[in-house]
Amino acid sequence: MGNSFRSKAEVLIVGGGVAGVSVAYHLAKLGITDVLLCERKQLTCGTTWHAAGLVTQLRATRNMTELAKYTGELFKSLEAETGQATGFRQNGSLRLARTVERFLELKRGASMARNFGLPVEVIGPEEIKDRYPPINTDGIVGGLWMERDGQVNPVDVTMAMAKGARNAGVTATALAQGILYTPTPEPPFWNTFLTPYSAVLTPDVLGVMGLGGCTCGATTRGAVGGLAGAGVDS
């Protein structure tokens, strides 16, 4: 990770966590490689480094479930593609119910999972104990076993996607806190990202900062220092 900047970029991404790096990786997959990703310190230094890394696939809607299924497939292939381990393991997950009402809700979820093409088992306390012997099943009515769920190391998977993006020509730059300005309200709406190293002109800015986004100010004329961790300049 260097601190050399180009004077222009088709897309500027502010935020070097797993979400920002994923955007860069997928833009590269779409053939958009004139991309500059800026991070105020180092990749994953925000909330990504202490994320749980749980990979579950059942969601409330079909589209969200399909996206989660894609994520699992991506995590399985990233290491082979980039040579960077991700720590991905599909060790399955248990969803437990301590009341009859909650168990009924889980059964409805199981029906939805099958409709979405996910393998799922409705199991009782004895089978739960078989799946995870340390558990105390007192008071547990039943649960679901989702065999394709698992976990990943968030830092490693971010680094794997960063490597894939860089291999495709994306530039990822650390220690690049700065302030974003939109100089004119007229087309072509070029934004200027000022850093300690240089200024970068870009038509498109993606702010992917997680909790860091709470510090953002206005989005034009001098007030998006919070995008990259700098103080908001009014």
| Domain span at 196 | 11-52+154-228
Locate 178 and state its tokens. 């700065």
What pTM was estimated for this model as a whole?
0.82
CATH of residue 29's domain is 3.50.50.60
Nearest-CA neighbor of 173 among 33, 11, 15, 10?
A: 15
Which residue(s) pair with 207 in the sheet? 14
Q: Residue 143: its pLDDT value, please?
A: 97
> What pLDDT was estimated at residue 8?
84
pLDDT truncated to tens, each residue of the chain (234 aa)? 444 567 788 898 888 999 999 999 999 999 999 998 888 888 888 889 899 999 999 988 889 999 999 999 999 999 999 999 999 999 999 999 999 999 999 999 999 999 988 999 999 999 999 999 999 999 999 999 999 999 999 999 999 999 999 998 888 776 666 676 766 566 667 788 877 677 888 888 888 887 666 554 434 333 344 444 444 333
Matching residue, tokens 């310190």? 41
User: Based on the domain organization, do 28 and 62 belong to the same domain?
Assistant: no
Say if residue 146 is in the same domain as residue 61. Answer: yes
Domain-embedded: residue 85: yes
Confirm whether 170 is domain-assigned: yes
For residue 174, being part of any structural domain is answered with yes
Last residue of a domain, one of 112, 129, 151: 151
If one counts the domains in the chain, the total is 2
60: left (phi over 0), alpha (psi -120 to 50) or beta: alpha
3 within domain boundaries: no
Percent of all residues in the chain with a pLDDT value above 70, rounded to a whole number: 80
Strand partners, 205: 12
Asked if residue 4 is part of any domain, the answer here is no
Instruction: Please check whether residue 221 is in contact with residue 214, taking contact to mean a CB–CB distance below 8 angstroms.
Output: no
Residues 135 and 119 reside in one and the same domain: yes
